[in-house]
Amino acid sequence: MPDERFLMHQLKSMKIAIRVGAVLLGGLIYYRYFTTRQWDWQLILVIAVMGIVKMTALFYFKRMN
């Protein structure tokens, strides 16, 4: 069974990875908009789902503690 230090390092690394991924995805959305002048709705949907999942998990864990 992993100890708390391992779990905290895993949590921090996941937070960083998710933030970097969201920033890169946002950059890709704007790049595609400025090059083609069309919004890529599939990428916007991915960012929206990421936000919804994050907020749902936040409220769930806040309620359970």
Does pTM top 0.85 for this prediction? Answer: no
- pLDDT of the residue at 63: 86
**Residue range of the domain that includes 50:** 4-64
The amino acid that residue 23 corresponds to is V
Q: How many domains does the chain have?
A: 1
Q: Are 43 and 29 in contact (CB under 8 A)?
A: yes
Q: Are 29 and 42 in contact (CB under 8 A)?
A: no
- Compute the distance between CA of residue 59 and CA of residue 22 in angstroms, rounded to an integer: 20
Q: What is the pLDDT of residues 5-62, one digit of tens each?
A: 777 777 888 888 888 999 999 999 999 999 999 988 998 899 899 888 888 888 888 8
Q: What is the pLDDT of residues 10-22, one digit of tens each?
A: 788 888 888 899 9
